[in-house]
Amino acid sequence: MEAIFGHTKLILELGDLTRHRAGAIVNAANSSLMGGGGVDGAIHRVGGHAILKECKAIISQIGRLAPGKAVITTGGNLPAENVIHTVGPVWHGDPRQAARILASAYRESLMLADKMAIKTIAFPSISTGAYGYPVQAAAETAVAEVKKYLLQETYLERVTFVLFSREDLKTYAEVLEKVTETDGDFTVKY
Ligand code: ADP
């Protein structure tokens, strides 16, 4: 499914982010930037040591990456040129605070891509794996924040959510459908 916001395409697809070709893919990292499980582990495994080396250099400068912030490294051996590492919120009881941090993770990633003149970016479903954020709530925040960003001035031409299960894809598609219906944006389904 895809929609257009401003001049930018927003695409939802089922797949493996480590196989996605783009100017940048976004890593749902943790504050240490030392890799981990889930999509983070997969990105480091496929991307190779160059990514970890740059992450270590960043951490030696900043100590840790706070939730809601984003930094960029090379894509190493990935098909993506760069990896934007961001940290989502751990889900534990304060939904409004979690939503604020999740929105910030998306926004900071998009801003960093724009700053680097990157035109295509792909996200996983940040925080909905090990960090336990309910997918429906996360999809609502993710889609709303990306939409808000794309309706401002941006160089981005394509933003993709690469969802790892059919169920997640369905949830994101329903959320996107609702957003485009209520606002009358141009939507194409396939
Ligand atoms: P977090 O710690 O932010 O919750 P996880 O990596 O545990 O991050 O999970 C985030 C989402 O990424 C989950 O929906 C998980 O299924 C998904 N995921 C895991 N591996 C991949 C992959 N290779 N490509 C895309 N999504 C992935």
Among 12, 16, 27, 39, the mutation site with the greatest number of ligand 1 atoms within 8 A of its Cβ is 39
Is a pLDDT exceeding 90 seen at residue 181?
Answer: no
pLDDT value at residue 180: 84
pLDDT, tens digit (0-9, with 9 covering 90-100), for 15-44: 999 999 999 999 999 999 999 999 999 999
Is a pLDDT exceeding 90 seen at residue 186?
Answer: no
116 C-beta closer than 6 A to ligand 1: no
Could you tell me which of 63, 41, 38 has the C-alpha nearest to residue 51? 41
83 C-beta closer than 6 A to ligand 1: no
How many Å apart are CA 56 and CA 68, to the nearest integer?
19
CA of 107 to the centre of ligand 1 (A): 18
Provide the terminal-to-terminal Cα distance of the chain, rounded to the nearest Å: 6
Q: What is the CATH number of the domain that holds 157?
A: 3.40.220.10
pLDDT, tens digit (0-9, with 9 covering 90-100), for 103-127: 999 999 999 999 999 999 999 999 9
Atom of ligand 1 nearest to the CA of 41: 6
The chain-wide mean pLDDT, for the chain, equals 95
In the chain, the number of structural domains is: 1
Among 18, 19, 20, 164, the mutation site with the greatest number of ligand 1 atoms within 8 A of its Cβ is 164
Is residue 125 within 8 Å of 165, Cβ to Cβ? no
In the chain, what percentage of residues exceed pLDDT 70?
A: 95
pTM of the model: 0.96
Q: Indicate which residue's Cα is closest to atom 10 of ligand 1.
A: 129
Is a pLDDT exceeding 80 seen at residue 95?
Answer: yes
167 C-beta closer than 6 A to ligand 1: no
CA of 184 to the centre of ligand 1 (A): 31
* Per-residue pLDDT band at 188 (split at 50, 70, 90): low
88 C-beta closer than 6 A to ligand 1: yes
- Domain with 50 in it: 2-189
